[in-house]
Amino acid sequence: MEKGFFEEVLATLENASRFLNLPEPIYQRLRRPRRSIIVSLPVMMDDGSVRFFTGYRVQYDFARGPAKGGFRYHPKVTLDEVTALAALMTWKCAVVNIPFGGAKGGVECDPTRMSRDEIKRLTRRYTYEIALMIGPEIDIPAPDMYTDEQVMAWMMDTYSMMKGYTVPGVVTGKPICIGGSLGRKTATSQGLVAVVCEALRFLKISMEGLTACIIGFGNVGKGCARILSDMGVRITGIADSKGAIYNPKGIDISAVSRHKKETGSVKGFGSAEDVDLDELIGKEVDVLIPAALEGQINSRNAHRVRARIIAEGANNPVTRDADEILKEKEVFIIPDILANAGGVVVSYFEWVQDLQGFFWSRDEIASRLNSIMKKAFKEVVDMSLDKGLDMRTSAMVVGVKRVADAISVRGLYP
């Protein structure tokens, strides 16, 4: 039986804590979010009716700086999910050593069945309800599932109207014209490809003839597919929420992107075979990138994996039970808190630029991102080699130690 999402996250924390021999008060502090809020959101719908939605914001830790994390719109958003994602953001920011704690938010809704104006009213109400909890020095939201730069613009505007002056640093992932950063849209994909390249060098795997399959063809998955394809990697399989396709000779990313735009799915793409997700997961491939929802590689299908490297573009896409199976198969896993940290790194750059009122070039951002991701990968690998740990535990040890050290030196107030 698969465990709950937050329970999965706490299990990885327990492993790291046992290795670090953390004092019990600090371990117990790390097991609990600092602050959680559940808000009721009345929203006027286009037909004149009022619907009530439930929203969440969880701030997991502030020891290293203001909380940072996205918020999502999805019918299955729960407090457990948001808490787990906030915890992962805490470790993620620490692994790449940026001065943030972790947070996450969400609203239980189906944005695919809502108009643009309804989503705008929902966003403004959600922002109003959590306004006392957020701010450039407190908690900086960002886009996540079914939220985008327009949603962030509405959030920034609502917060700014309440303050009486423009506050661009309250959110990241904004449009460029109101303080957004160059390179933000592709940051997660670029950061992931950077650590994949480092893993290939570490494992002495040649780029020549390299193959990859990607689960999820949204912003992260599609970005990874484009970047890897441009590097000469053969993308042999792609999956989205409605289906999966496979072609051992390679898939034209531009063509399949057009197909998805026209039909709503990669399924039915003429130059590839339709397969189910478990079948795609079982294809022989060098790099498998799960970049969709959590838990897609689990105890039911992990034994089918034939990839040499799994790079987790999504949060918690491999369950704990599946992790054990993949260890036995000697699959090299680049864990989510390292692999998909590129987005929060460039969010950090955006926040810094907003506070300074001074903006960087695209090349400068790409160079800084690449440098941070390479350094973080080396630190995690060095910990793995030095202590004989798997990559997930190693990344957790690096991240948790940094947060625990911050809690320890700050002490207990009063």
- Sheet order of strands, 284-290 included: 273-275, 243-246, 234-240, 211-215, 284-290, 306-311, 332-334
Cα gap 297→70, rounded to integer Å:
23
What single-letter amino acid sits at 272?
Answer: A
Residue in 229, 225, 227, 200 with CA at minimum distance from that of residue 214 = 225
Cα gap 97→399, rounded to integer Å:
8
Active site residue 104: yes
Residue in 189, 184, 98, 104 with CA at minimum distance from that of residue 149 = 184
Which of 68, 92, 104, 283 does the annotation list as catalytic? 104
DSSP single-letter state for residue 294? T
For 35, counting Cβ atoms within 10 Å of its Cβ (0-12 exposed, 13-18 middle, 19+ buried), the class is: middle
Q: Which H helix or E strand runs over 17?
A: helix 5-20
For 386, counting Cβ atoms within 10 Å of its Cβ (0-12 exposed, 13-18 middle, 19+ buried), the class is: exposed
Q: What are the φ/ψ torsions at residue 76 (nearest 5 degrees)? A: -110, 20
Cα gap 403→340, rounded to integer Å:
19
Positions of E strands within 316-409: 332-334
DSSP single-letter state for residue 199? H
- Sheet order of strands, 139-143 included: 35-44, 50-61, 101-108, 67-74, 139-143
Residue in 165, 167, 164, 138 with CA at minimum distance from that of residue 153 = 167
* Contact of 313 with 224, CB cutoff 8 Å: yes
The neighbouring-strand residues paired with 105 are 57, 71
Catalytic sites, residue numbers: 104
